[in-house]
Structure 1
Amino acid sequence: MSTQTTGASGKTRGRVLMLVDNSVHGDSRVQKEARSAAAAGWDVTLIGCSPDGERHSWAIGQAEVLLLPTPRQRRRRHDFRSAPLRRPFAYNPVSPIAKFKKQRVKSAWANISSRRTLWRYEVKLGERSRLSYRFRDLAQLPRRVATSIWAGVVKFRLKQTAALKEARIDVASPIDNLTLKFWSAVGGNRAWRRLEPSLWDWDIAWADILDKMRPDLIHANDFRMLGVGARAKMRAALKGHEIQLVWDAHEFLPGLNQRTKSIRWLPGNILHEREHVRFADAIVTVSENLGELLINEHKLAEAPAVVLNAPSFDPGLDEGGEPVADLRAMCGIDAATPLMVFCGGVAPVRGVDTVVEGLPDLPEVHLALVSLPPGQKSTPFIDDLMVKARELGVADRVHVFPYVPHWQVTQFLAPADMAVTPLVHLPNHEIAMSNKFFEYSHAKLPLLTSDVRTMAEMVTRTGQGEVFKAKDPKDFVRAVRKVLEDPARYKAVYETPGMLEQWTWEAQAEILDEVYTKLLPAVPRPQAPAPVVPKPAGEALPDAASIGTSA
């Protein structure tokens, strides 16, 4: 199934399954992990979720990507029950009875109306007298009254049903809080089975395939995949096959905002993580600060290895060659016009509104947002942002563009004068060293960052940019003006020997390979061939078999 990569001994160093709960597209970290691990001699298959219910596969370098259909539980058990205490008059929200009743009422009124129309038509034709019509119409009065009462009852019950559906979307009532506390107290870490049963979806869809592939190592990306990997590890052990489990923690789960309206989502996922973290043979994460939080949260005996979200210095051959678009030309501006860039999704917690609110005081500055997901012309957040830009009279200086391939980001952004990271204060933002931070750095752009702890400390230490108060447009304007006064001073920092070299994916891949090698040391890493040095004229070159190798 997979492309076999071999070590110096002719054997693969081990079969690695990388698991991720997305469709791989747009996730540069897992793509770089798969490519670099395969290049280092591991037999790598990266498994993700199919976006359309069909199975897909392709290659990233020597690694195979496999997207599997993964049906999701979009409803919870109580969605299928009535609510005699909360909404006793509501119809069952998932039953067709509500639509049926609504149509029956419409049918009854249609019947009454049709009868009256027929009788009036008969009067018009002279087949019935007006007095006869009035007597018949009066005789139908009880039917109309009864139908009106029935329609009122149905309308009331439909409103109760709609309210029940809304309450179940929110799932934050006193009853919901009570059940959350009950199951958490009774079940402990195992309570996620009641609180967030959708975490079983990946096991249901993938378990047989994972077991048949018999990996030597599973690399589980983020909190959902930790449980999937742990359970695969246990199943294999019962069949006499040992799997090493690496957990790649991308975020600090207790520090996340709720991603759904259900109050059960975050506690359920936290308990799931706590139950399965003990099965991880090694943990890697994205920053030292996140590593410290994981140590405290899970009482880890060993600090996680830090693998930064750094860009690749040398993209693979199959990812090169495409022309990189001219950012300034796309904005319709010349080289002398100050240009600021933001790269990434636009959402309230990203703080981009602070940047737009500062533009009226920076009349010469344009803003490029590289923020559109593939195939989309806009998003609700971008629409809201552009409404604000128009209200402030700066819409002509705000330019929105689609994402570019991750191996082009640095070149694409380089023509700008500065980059901005305006995150608001949230627990995970305080500990983040985002991939965009490193991409901006490799583009050698002065960096404007809000005062979220980790990135603000780095910018202050290196001198590569300025820090401003989060959600403070006036202070943001101050920072921009300071950079514009002497941009060369900030760009010069990037010429510090070794600075950018340590912030490359190639350097991070070495760290990840060390983690794998420690867990699976049997087959050594393949040695790269030494460069061929041309001989002086008249001397024959040695044949390939006689060329030495170096580590």
Structure 2
Amino acid sequence: MLVDNGVNGDSRVQKAARSAAEAGWEVVLLGKSPVTQPQSWRLGDAEVRLLVMPDPLARRRHEFRRAWLRWPLAYPPSGIAAHRAQAVKAWQTDLRMRAAELTLATRAGAGGGRVKLRQQALRAEQIAAGLTRKWVSFRYWQLTRARKGRKLRSPWDRAYTVFWQKMYGDGAWRKLEPGLWDYELAYGPVIDELAPDLIHANDFRMLGVAARAKIRAAAQGRTVKVVWDAHEFLPGIKPWQDNARWLPAHCAHEREYAPYADAVMTVSDSLAELLVATHRLPETPAVVLNAPAAEHGPTGAEAEPLPDLRARCGVGPETPLLVYSGAAAKQRGLGIMVEALPQLPGMHVALVVNKPDGPYLTEVKAQAAKLGVADRVHVLPYVSHWQVVPFLAGADVGVIPIHHWPNHEIALITKFFEYSHARLPLVVSDVKTMAATVRSTGQGEVFRAEDVADYVRAVRAVLADPGRYRAAYDRPGLLANWTWEAQARVLDGVYARLLPDAPGPVGDTSGSAGDPHDSAGPAYHTGPVGGLTGAPPRAGVTA
């Protein structure tokens, strides 16, 4: 299995790798190390390897050049600016120490005229150091402005994008987003060494890495199957970068390599239909929902104490508590939860996010302070994915205030299922699929996205009769269909269909098969990745 992140925090990838290994497949999950050293660990029976990925191609050529016309006094982007700034600070620190020594000498009555001359020279040097610091700061500021001023959205950048699209078609990503090669150069050699029978590529960056590995294997006479797991509809993504090249480049990359996928899976029926239409897929992708997997947690002596949401927020059981769990970004709408607090006296908000100290959360906390509600806003880090459901269950209401973006309209996102298994009443924005589901099940209230007054109405309605909304979870089969166990059977079925002759216990893809390890013990074999001998698992899967 391939993923373009550090695995931790990506619950879908963790669950898929672990479940595939439990079903008898030999799984190696390759991710990107967040540090300059490789890392590895076990995820159930799956092996996780984080690879070191240098990314020099992610930097644009203009980042290595000076902006002579717009910022002629800026330092060159070579690192000299930080060196000069630090050198001036060191100089001024030295001058302060020398001034202190002269003060002590004067108090001791030493030196006489010599001390006065040294003091005058020191004052002159201090003036020179101060002026130098201002000059260095000015040039450093010019460099910063030069970097920020180039957002790759100018008419020139748009013309540059169109030119390469006309020249190379879907191959234009090689010019527009050369940083995609950094993934290839880090992952490709490792995949070739593993020589897997199947590659499970998570999302759009890994699709190209998997497809190229398949091509190389075919040239050597080996057959490799590729499963593309599309987490999002790429044309509907709001790019994190202010960059006119990013989306056209990644869409071209996806179009080039989508035909190499032997099977496609995704997160919703709506997204499956969009993928069929966009890439002319020969069959509708399998749907694997982002449902929680509480059963993946450690047991017995290894089990960690479950975290307590209210304890971490410092509030008692009588305090109304709203929770948001997930990525923190402006389009996720977290700001509305803070803006509404002055109209919801006594209510607290817990934001369980991936980057508690990130720039967006800094803005949210500043807004809370401005409104005088900072003491009622609690920003918390993620917990392990198997702890999420019991952790969130400590709240009174689960909130999903996402804005209207194409990807937000077409799927039930991870937190929707996590809130549901925590049996929380929901307050959700009126994005298409989620709003329709909530109205159908009766598990919560829907409000107009970005409308504070309507959000307040929805919150008050839910808290006025929470039992009514919780009762929706008693509907037979509702939560059973939203479990990871049910999704893992779909995942296993896709693998088994592509590798019908895989050795070891193939199992019943309807879910009636037993645990492949029940009679044979831990299943390992000596293969491309080494290991112990024993009952052979299914053919290797590089995830």
3-state secondary structure, aligned to 1:297: helix
Distance 1:259 1:328 in 2: 32
Distance 1:237 1:487 in 2: 58
1:45-60 aligned at under 5 Å gives the runs 45-60=28-43
**Matching of residue 274 in structure 1 with residue 276 in structure 2:** no
Cross-structure match for 2:514 = 528
Q: How many residue pairs get matched?
A: 469
* Per-residue deviation, 1:468: 0.3
* Per-residue deviation, 1:171: 1.6
Distance 1:404 1:197 in 2: 35
* Per-residue deviation, 1:163: 5.5
Distance 1:90 1:266 in 2: 33
Change (3 A) 1:163 1:334: closer
Cross-structure match for 1:70 = 53
Cross-structure match for 2:18 = 35
* Per-residue deviation, 1:82: 6.1
1:98-137 aligned at under 5 Å gives the runs none
* Per-residue deviation, 1:315: 1.9
Distance 1:102 1:487 in 2: 58
Which whole-Å deviations, capped at 9, do the CAs of 1:471-496 have from their partners, x for residues lacking one? 11110111111111211111011011
**Matching of residue 217 in structure 1 with residue 198 in structure 2:** yes
Change (3 A) 1:34 1:372: closer
Change (3 A) 1:92 1:81: farther
**Matching of residue 440 in structure 1 with residue 419 in structure 2:** yes
Which whole-Å deviations, capped at 9, do the CAs of 1:7-37 have from their partners, x for residues lacking one? xxxxxxxxxxx00000111111110000000
Change (3 A) 1:249 1:102: closer
Cross-structure match for 1:309 = 290
3-state secondary structure, aligned to 2:316: coil
3-state secondary structure, aligned to 2:239: coil
The one of 339, 354, 361 aligned to 1:382: 361
Which whole-Å deviations, capped at 9, do the CAs of 1:28-76 have from their partners, x for residues lacking one? 1110000000011101000001111211111111100011111112422
| Contact kept? 1:81, 1:92, Cα under 8 Å | no
* Per-residue deviation, 1:425: 1.0
| Contact kept? 2:71, 2:143, Cα under 8 Å | no
The one of 503, 506, 516 aligned to 2:485: 506
Higher mean alpha-carbon deviation, 311-320 vs 450-459, is at 311-320
Change (3 A) 1:81 1:404: closer
For the pair shown, the structure with the greater C-alpha radius of gyration is: 1
Q: Which runs of 5+ in 1 are unaligned?
A: 1-17, 104-123, 126-152, 533-551
**Matching of residue 410 in structure 1 with residue 389 in structure 2:** yes
Cross-structure match for 1:260 = 241
| Contact kept? 1:259, 1:265, Cα under 8 Å | no
The one of 61, 65, 83 aligned to 2:44: 61
Change (3 A) 1:186 1:154: farther
* Per-residue deviation, 1:81: 4.8
Distance 2:298 2:194 in 1: 28
3-state secondary structure, aligned to 2:340: helix
What is the aligned-residue identity percentage?
54
The one of 438, 442, 445 aligned to 1:466: 445
* Per-residue deviation, 1:346: 2.5
The one of 449, 452, 456 aligned to 1:477: 456
Distance 1:25 1:98 in 2: 35
Change (3 A) 1:351 1:91: closer
Change (3 A) 1:368 1:237: same
| Contact kept? 1:20, 1:47, Cα under 8 Å | yes
Distance 2:347 2:80 in 1: 59
Cross-structure match for 1:185 = 166
3-state secondary structure, aligned to 1:44: strand
Distance 1:414 1:156 in 2: 52
**Matching of residue 368 in structure 1 with residue 350 in structure 2:** yes
The one of 273, 284, 287 aligned to 2:265: 284
3-state secondary structure, aligned to 1:187: helix
3-state secondary structure, aligned to 1:448: strand
| Contact kept? 1:98, 1:158, Cα under 8 Å | yes
* Per-residue deviation, 1:380: 2.2
Normalised to the residue count of structure 2, the TM-score between the two structures is 0.80
Distance 2:141 2:372 in 1: 43
Distance 1:291 1:79 in 2: 39
Cross-structure match for 1:495 = 474
Distance 1:228 1:50 in 2: 17
The one of 314, 327, 332 aligned to 1:350: 332
Distance 1:208 1:331 in 2: 46
| Contact kept? 2:403, 2:429, Cα under 8 Å | yes
| Contact kept? 2:2, 2:199, Cα under 8 Å | yes
Cross-structure match for 2:4 = 21
| Contact kept? 1:313, 1:506, Cα under 8 Å | no
Query: Aligned AA for 1:248?
Result: D
| Contact kept? 1:91, 1:157, Cα under 8 Å | yes
Which whole-Å deviations, capped at 9, do the CAs of 1:80-122 have from their partners, x for residues lacking one? 45678x659678944689999999xxxxxxxxxxxxxxxxxxx
* Per-residue deviation, 1:174: 2.1
| Contact kept? 2:430, 2:447, Cα under 8 Å | yes
Distance 1:157 1:403 in 2: 40
Change (3 A) 1:155 1:305: closer
Distance 2:338 2:81 in 1: 47
Distance 2:24 2:46 in 1: 10
Higher mean alpha-carbon deviation, 251-260 vs 71-80, is at 71-80
* Per-residue deviation, 1:325: 2.3
| Contact kept? 1:190, 1:271, Cα under 8 Å | yes
Cross-structure match for 1:132 = none
Cross-structure match for 2:341 = 359
3-state secondary structure, aligned to 1:284: strand
Query: Aligned AA for 1:254?
Result: P
* Per-residue deviation, 1:432: 2.8
Query: Aligned AA for 1:315?
Result: H
Change (3 A) 1:81 1:415: closer
Distance 2:54 2:441 in 1: 47
Which whole-Å deviations, capped at 9, do the CAs of 1:128-151 have from their partners, x for residues lacking one? xxxxxxxxxxxxxxxxxxxxxxxx
| Contact kept? 2:343, 2:456, Cα under 8 Å | yes
Distance 1:334 1:80 in 2: 54
**Matching of residue 44 in structure 1 with residue 27 in structure 2:** yes
Cross-structure match for 1:14 = none
Distance 1:164 1:409 in 2: 43
Distance 2:83 2:289 in 1: 56
**Matching of residue 332 in structure 1 with residue 332 in structure 2:** no
| Contact kept? 1:351, 1:471, Cα under 8 Å | yes
| Contact kept? 1:80, 1:92, Cα under 8 Å | no
Which fold has the larger relative contact order, with Cα–Cα distance below 8 Å and residues 6 or more apart in sequence? 2
Tell me the C-alpha RMSD between the 2 structures. 3.1
3-state secondary structure, aligned to 2:322: strand
**Matching of residue 246 in structure 1 with residue 255 in structure 2:** no
3-state secondary structure, aligned to 1:54: coil
| Contact kept? 2:32, 2:51, Cα under 8 Å | yes
Which whole-Å deviations, capped at 9, do the CAs of 1:366-417 have from their partners, x for residues lacking one? 21121254xx6x2222222122222222222222222111101111111221
Distance 2:280 2:383 in 1: 40
Query: Aligned AA for 2:158?
Result: N
